[in-house]
Amino acid sequence: MTILVTGGAGYIGSHTVDCLIRRGFDVVVVDNLVTGHRQAVNPKARFYKGDVRDANFLSHVFDREHIDGVIHFASVSIVPESMRDPLHYFDDNVEGTITLLEAMRDHNVKRIVFSSSASVYGDPKRMPIKESDPKVPTNPYGETKLMMERMMNWADVAYGIHFIALRYFNVGGAKLDGSIGEDHNPETHLIPIILQVALGQRNQLQIFGDDYPTKDGTNVRDYVHVLDLANAHILAMKWLLRGGHSDIFNLGSSTGFSNLQMLQAARDVTGQPISASMAPRRPGDPSTLIADSSKARKILGWKPKYDDIHKIISSAWKWTRKHPNGYEK
């Protein structure tokens, strides 16, 4: 079975490529390397550098390879950046998905698993969040993911392209040997920033807001290990390969941790004091996001193995210590 992974040089993509190869799949990776890293891609994957918005490039890849299914990660995914430059997000995420679906339609490829996000829900009041709950995104990033889901739905109706949308909550951690991990430039995510402070690369963590309606006033998020997420993509692809219908699943641990609790957990794991201060709210941040992931467990048989915040942080810490400057240096 040959699986095309778009964005396979990115954080979640590279872990999924690695898992696919270790499970015996043949893997083709497409990535424009704007935010991804060539070194993150398992060398057994066939790599094509290019952009999913480039129809000629995609057509060339689909002509050369016999693709059985697509896992689509390629997108921009930083909430605060999307607030500053929404059109960039609509161009990259929505336009990229249109071009990819057109290429799939034209090459008769009928299965796609893709990255959606908890940010499609906006700022929901009821926790934990179920897939059927209202979708009212509070930032352009979440809006693009919701549009991508809707497009997939109509592409299924019209062209018979079956899809699984996986709505990730907050992803963390790294491959357990520390050989691949999270490397964004600039870094905006909580866990890597906390660990950069632990390593002495930053002076301080700024915590964005302590006046939210949560137990300690800071935002609450639901963290899932990147390896558990990678495994969910494989289960979803297997579901489609078995003839399963299109569907949408939340992926989270169903437990919420506040930003202050995350800081404390990182202090426990690293043994470092990790200095922190309070800062104003970050625009677009929902107060609390906690998943109800029972549907993925029931239908896909997904069983997270690293369902513990300390395991998530300690694997990220191993990667950070091994690669203090990420992939490049």
State which of positions 290-329 bind ligand UFG (CB under 6 A). Answer: none
Q: Which of 285, 295, 313, 323 binds ligand UFG (CB under 6 A)?
A: 285
CB of 106 to ligand UFG, least distance (A): 30
Q: Which of 25, 57, 163, 208 binds ligand UFG (CB under 6 A)?
A: 208
Q: Does 119 bind ligand UFG (CB under 6 A)?
A: yes
Q: Does 253 bind ligand UFG (CB under 6 A)?
A: no
Q: Does 190 bind ligand UFG (CB under 6 A)?
A: yes
Query: Is 141 among the residues known to form the active site?
Result: yes
Q: Does 246 bind ligand UFG (CB under 6 A)?
A: no
Cα dihedral 14→16→18→22 (10° resolution): -170
Q: Does 188 bind ligand UFG (CB under 6 A)?
A: yes
CB of 329 to ligand UFG, least distance (A): 22
Of 23-31, 43-51, 94-102, 282-290: span binding ligand UFG (CB under 6 A) = 282-290
CB of 238 to ligand UFG, least distance (A): 25
Phi and psi torsions of 145, nearest 5°: -65, -40
Q: Cα(first)–Cα(last) distance of the chain, in Å?
A: 35
State which of positions 70-89 bind ligand UFG (CB under 6 A). Answer: 77, 79
CB of 304 to ligand UFG, least distance (A): 16
Total interface residues for ligand UFG by CB under 6 A: 21
Q: Does 289 bind ligand UFG (CB under 6 A)?
A: yes
Q: Which of 118, 197, 226, 316 binds ligand UFG (CB under 6 A)?
A: 118
CB of 208 to ligand UFG, least distance (A): 4
Q: Which residues bind ligand UFG (CB under 6 A)?
A: 77, 79, 117-119, 169-170, 188-190, 193, 205-208, 219, 221, 259, 282, 285, 289
- By annotation, the residues acting in catalysis are 141
